[in-house]
Structures are given as C-alpha cells and as structure tokens.
Amino acid sequence: MSRKIGVIGIGHVGSTVAHYLVSGGFVDELVLIDKNKAKVVADALDLKEALPNLPYHPKIVVNDYDALKDADVIISSLGNTRVLSSKTSDRFAELPFVSAQVKLVAPKIKASGFNGVIVDISNPCDVITSMYQKLTGLPKNQVMGTGTLLDSARMKRTVGEALHVASSSVSGYNLGEHGNSQFTAWSTVVVLSHPISELVDKYHLDLDQLDQNAKNGGFTIFKGKGYTNYGVATAAVRLANVVMNDANTELPVSNYRKEYGVYLSYPAVIGKQGIVHQDQLNLSDDEKKKLQKSANFIKSKFEQVMNK
C-alpha cells in the first residue's frame, strides 16, 4: 500500500521533515506545499537530485492540494521565525501569522477530501492544532500536534546528561502546553527502571533546574542559530510513521482531552486513525494543578484567536 504524506510549509522545519522522509525511505509519495513557489520548487528539485544516491525513489509533488485527498498524514510546519525575538521564548509571537495562514490552508485541506491524520508542528502548537480541527471539521482523534513529544525528549536529554546515561534509558513525560506553561511530570519519570524520586538524594539532582533546562532547550537552540529544526522534525516524522504503521504506540502529543475541554499534551495511544486510546496518569496534586493551569491558558488563547 502506498505511503503518502503532505508537508505544508517548507521553511527550516518543513524542509528538514521532507529530507528525513525521503532519505529514510518513509514515503512513496510526498506532497510539498508552500506559498513561496520558488522555494518549494527549489526544495523539490534538490530532493529529486538526492534520489540517484539513495535506495528510495518516492514521487514528489509540488503545490497540489488535490493530491492530499488520499494522503495518510499531513504535517503542518507553517511558521515565521522572523517575528521571534532572541530575548524571549514566547511561542505566541507567531500566532498572528500562523493563525492567518491556517485560516487559508484549512479550507483547502477540507476541499481536497483529505480524511487522514493531521500532525501539527506549527506554533503555538496546541492552539494551532485546535484551529486545524475546528476549520477542517475532521474528527478530533484525527488531528494532533507534536506538542510535548519534543519537550519530553528534551527532558530525557537533560536527565540523561545529569546521570551520565543514554537519554533513551529515561522514560517519562512533559505535559500541558508546548510552551512556557508545560512542566515535567516527575511522577512519571523513570531512569534505568528506577523512579527518579529514588535517585534525587543519591545523585544530588535539582529537579527544578532540570525542568527549566528542558523547558529552555528550544530557546537555547533558537538563540544560537535563529530557528530549531532537527528535534521537532524528528518528532513529527516519528509520529507520522506511528500513524502509517498503525503502531498503537503511546506518545505525549497534543490531543483533545474532554475533561479539560482543550488540546494539550498528554500520553495517548496512536494508530492509523490517529488517537485510538487516551490514558489516565496517576499524577500528584501539584501536577494536576499545573496541568489545569496550562489547559486554562491554552483555552483562553484559542478563544481569543477564533473570536477575531
């Protein structure tokens, strides 16, 4: 069965996603869409010229919304990092630009007849993911954002470095907004089969500092090169592959949680139809309060943008 993905927004992140999909042999057909025709045509040609040196030969289509009809996944990587400041880590600076673009793009996705899964990278992730669901009319389980899948990876990196173990030996979740109100749910974090609470005193861990390091990871990268791309692109491609392979894998992604009435990051089992099961974590009272605060913030921002 043909594996088909659309990528909308071919900037730093979108082009990285496209390259990873092609070089990894993850797609049979790739649809690239961007309002900057010269840029998207150039990227498509660049990818085609990589094919002779790859064992994979996907078909690459440019700026054709109709081609999205039978796609398995659409990855939205719309954005404008030029509006961001090196002095702030507020992802909501992109909201005016990205929300305006989504209002143009979503109706075209709907008109194409697309009935797959939308994976949003675009920031502010939770609000934009909510907009895509509202404006395309797709079922909530078929629209998700990478959310704290990236922040959880950043947490695993910081914890792994602190304990001198591979980040892949750390499990656990960052929850809530993909933004300043997200937090590490330390009650979920396990290192080499040990709850991190058992390691704090022995290794003199400062959990508040580790949480802050994870939260600041993206800002540190942005200050250094003006954008982030590898981490979030890898998260998006992993999520797309989970969908296409019907893998039924649990990941912390931005998904609609009825009890909070909003999209936010919380572990969910993901398969071919998107969100197939939602878990319920045994969080501490403090973690529950932080999650509710994050949910309230996302909800207020979504209501603001939709009422404009």
* Active site residue ranges: 178
Per the annotation, does 14 bind a ligand?
yes
Surface-to-core class of residue 110, CB atoms within 10 Å of its CB (0-12 exposed, 13-18 middle, 19+ buried): middle
| Angle at CA of residue 36, ends 34 and 42, nearest 5° | 90
Per the annotation, does 204 bind a ligand?
no
> How far is it, in rounded angstroms, from Cα 26 to Cα 239?
12
- Furthest-apart CA atoms within the chain: distance in Å: 58
Which pair of tokens denotes residue 254?
């931005």
Q: Positive or negative, the Cα torsion across 294, 298, 301, 303?
A: negative
Which pair of tokens denotes residue 26?
């993850």
Per the annotation, does 34 bind a ligand?
yes
Per the annotation, does 13 bind a ligand?
yes
Which pair of tokens denotes residue 24?
């990894």
Per the annotation, does 121 bind a ligand?
yes
Is the bond preceding residue 96 a cis peptide, omega within 30 degrees? no
Say if residues 243 and 274 touch (Cβ distance below 8 Å). Answer: yes
Per the annotation, does 10 bind a ligand?
yes
Please provide the size of the chain in residues.
308
Say if residues 70 and 115 touch (Cβ distance below 8 Å). Answer: no
Q: Positive or negative, the Cα torsion across 95, 96, 101, 104?
A: positive
- Pairing status of strand 183-191 against strand 194-195: antiparallel
Per the annotation, does 123 bind a ligand?
yes
Per the annotation, does 12 bind a ligand?
yes
Say if residues 17 and 233 touch (Cβ distance below 8 Å). Answer: yes
Which residues participate in the annotated binding site for NAD(+)?
Answer: 9-14, 34, 121-123
Which residues participate in the annotated binding site?
Answer: 9-14, 34, 121-123
